[in-house]
């Protein structure tokens, strides 16, 4: 197992990954629900921005790019 895989399976990394995936799924579902209910573009845009932020954080964790993950986390 590579160092990055060991890091993710070590507990906190995997837990963070799991939480981010659940958060992303929730955001996507809520955005779709709000869209069906006729939410305005500004509200949908807020969900879209948060979805992109979480996706970038996930990508940083999965690629092992801690700098990219930290930059997204700081925003």
pTM of the predicted protein model: 0.72
Q: What is the DSSP string of the chain?
A: --HHHHHHHTSHHHHHHHHHHHHHHHHHHHHHHHHHTT--HHHHHHHHHHHHHHHHHHHHHHHT-HHHHHHHHH-
Closest CA to 73 of 64, 4, 61: 61
| pLDDT tens by residue, 18-66 | 999 999 999 999 999 999 999 999 999 999 999 999 999 999 988 886 6
Which of the 8 DSSP states describes residue 63?
A: H
């Amino acid at each position: 197992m590579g160092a990055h895989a060991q890091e993710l399976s070590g507990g906190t990394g995997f837990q963070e990954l799991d939480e981010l995936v659940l958060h992303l799924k929730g955001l996507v579902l809520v955005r779709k629900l709000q869209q069906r209910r006729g939410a305005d573009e500004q509200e949908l845009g807020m969900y879209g921005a948060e979805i992109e932020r979480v996706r970038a954080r996930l990508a940083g964790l999965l690629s092992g790019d801690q700098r990219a993950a930290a930059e997204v986390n700081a925003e």
